[in-house]
Amino acid sequence: MEPITHFLTGACIGRAGLNRKTAYATLAATLAAEAADIDILWGLRGPVDELQHHRGITHTFIAVPVVAGVVVGAVWLLHGWSESRRKRKLAAMTFRPGEPVPLRLQQKPVHWGWLYASAFIAALSHLLLDWTNNYGLRPFFPFNPRWYAGSFMFIAEPVLWALFLAALVLPALFGLADREIGVRRSAFRGRGWAIFALCGMVALWCWRWAEHAQGEAMLLNTQVTSEPVKRVALEPYPVNPYLWHAIVETPGFYQTAEIDTRTGSIDTDPQRDVLFKPTDTPAMEAAKRTHLGQVYLDWGTWAVVRDVGQEPVAGMDPPQLPPNRPWTTIEFTDLRFGYSFRHAAGARTPAVLNGWVYIVDNRDDAGQAMGGREQK
């Protein structure tokens, strides 16, 4: 999932009761819930390296204890700085006998075991949320390099945003109202709302999982292609749990369809929604052996490689060659992301996860790019 959902999930995990066990629980859970995405820094080395390492080692079970430990270490440093600052302020103040220390300067009880548990649970939540969408992750890497993807949640789900924001904002608003009428302030407001939001997320997962299974059954029980079906996949849309983008593979082509599990309809046109499998060429084989090709084919479970001719690529200049040296552009796409998530007529299909390689003389790599960024 995108960072907003991870941060909000971590905040709700902290406020669901762990913040009653130790100070900084909500902070640690919020940070740990998103910390695995630190691998995005690989993008500084180029888009191909980013694809290779994104959802890599930081998104594995063996990394969860390390991620939690790093977050707790950061909180420990913050706590040390905060305590030093608190003691300086206390030393500069003068108190009358029996006068209590102001609440804002009282020492916060920190139980480091509970704090680590909060970060550990939140770090696990990152893996679980990323598994629910169709990009997938490799939780057992390096022992098992296989990608796993639930494919029943869109990578950005406004329903979850609304649910979590309500759980975090409404308690504060109700607290303001209580203060106006003189109700005693609760030290841990919002626990019930946080639990409700987390349970609501799980309920939404179950609902979408059931609709995904129903859509897959509809597809397998309906004759939508003229050839035997080798495999199928259903990709999610945001908000609407009944709407799915289907991909069907046959020996000779791929066919797409739009499925509505509420109405039981399957919309597909063999003339419009069929992509014939390209015939391999020497340039395509050379492109598959490049760094981009190897990384893309390792990740792209529905990857399609095509020779698109001398087509310039955005963000990368074409090869400057003598007229007698032929070159061609090889395009890598993944059918899981080859549809417009807005489901609107005329909407352009996102190309952020597409890759391109310039091949010269059917064998030489002359440039690689992804999503408008060139790999240097």
Of the residues 250, 277, 304, the one at which a domain ends: 277
pLDDT of residue 187: 53
> Using one digit for the tens of pLDDT, what is the confidence trace for 222-239?
989 989 999 999 999 999
Residues 63-88: what's their mean pLDDT?
A: 90
364 occurs within a structural domain: yes
Residue 170 resides in a domain: no
354 versus 90: the higher-pLDDT residue is 354
217 within some domain: yes
CATH number at residue 242: 3.10.450
Single out the residue of 29, 33, 28 nearest to residue 5, CA to CA.
33
Checking if the pLDDT of 349 tops 60, the result is no
14 and 106 belong to one structural domain? yes
Q: For 171-199, what is the mean pLDDT?
A: 71
Closest to 65 measured CA to CA, from 107, 123, 25 = 123
The answer to whether 49 and 42 are in contact (CB under 8 A) is: yes
User: Which of helix, strand or coil describes residue 327?
Assistant: strand
- What does the chain come to in residues? 376
How big is the chain by its Cα radius of gyration, in Å? 26
327-334: strand order across its sheet: 303-307, 327-334, 355-360, 364-370, 373-375
Please say if the pLDDT value at position 345 is more than 50.
Answer: no
Average the pLDDT over each of 186-190, 239-243, 331-335 and give the range with the smallest value. 186-190
122 and 21 part of one domain: yes
Of 251, 277, 303, the domain-final residue: 277
Same domain, 117 and 72: yes
Q: Which of 3-17, 37-51, 287-301, 333-347 has the lowest mean pLDDT?
A: 333-347
What's residue 346's pLDDT?
43
Residue 177 lies in a domain: no
| Statement to judge: residues 106 and 71 lie in one domain | yes
- Looking at the structure, tell me whether residues 42 and 142 fall in a common domain: yes
Mean pLDDT of 80-100: 72
pLDDT digit string (tens) for 131-171? 999 999 999 999 999 999 999 999 999 999 999 999 999 88
Look at residue 347 in the predicted model and tell me its pLDDT: 45
Q: Mark whether 282 and 271 lie in a shared domain.
A: no
- What share of residues in the chain are helix, strand, coil (percent, to 5)? 45, 15, 40
Q: Looking at this protein, which amino acid is placed at residue 167?
A: A
Alpha carbon separation from 261 to 73, 132, 211, 214, 219 (Å, rounded): 48, 19, 7, 7, 10
- Give the model confidence (pLDDT) of 4-53 as tens digits: 999 999 999 999 999 999 999 999 999 999 999 999 999 999 999 999 99
Please report how the helices 158-180 and 3-15 are oriented relative to each other, as an axis angle in degrees rounded to 10.
40
The answer to whether residue 104 sits within a structural domain is yes
End residue of a domain, out of 243, 277, 311? 277
Number of structural domains the chain divides into: 3
Residue 176 lies in a domain: no
In DSSP terms, 330 is beta-bridged to: 307, 357
Same domain, 265 and 301: no
Let me know if residue 329 belongs to a domain: yes
**Structural domain harbouring 21:** 3-156
What's at 374, amino acid-wise? Answer: E
Same domain, 229 and 301: no
Q: Give the pLDDT confidence score for residue 58 in this predicted structure.
A: 96
**Cα 55 from Cα 291, distance rounded (Å):** 18
Name residue, tokens 């706590």.
79
Outline where the chain has alpha helix (H).
3-15, 25-35, 47-53, 64-91, 112-132, 158-180, 191-220, 282-288, 291-299
Q: Do 286 and 336 have their domain in common?
A: yes
**Residue at 262 is within a domain:** yes
User: What is the torsional sign of CA 277, 283, 285, 289?
Assistant: negative
82 neighbors 73 (Cβ within 8 angstroms): no
Confidence at residue 298, expressed as pLDDT on a 0 to 100 scale: 94
Residue 275 is predicted with a pLDDT of: 94
| Distance (Å, whole) CA 277 – CA 13 | 46
16 and 86 share a domain? yes
pTM: 0.89
Percent of the chain beyond pLDDT 70? Answer: 89
- Position 189 scores a pLDDT of 72
Judge if 127 and 25 occupy the same domain: yes
Q: Are residues 33 and 147 in the same domain?
A: yes
What token pair was written down for 60?
């594995």
Q: What is the mean pLDDT of the chain?
A: 89
The two structure tokens encoding residue 201:
């997320």
Which of 35-39, 77-81, 157-161, 286-290 has the lowest average pLDDT? 77-81
Q: What number is the average pLDDT over the span 182-207?
A: 83
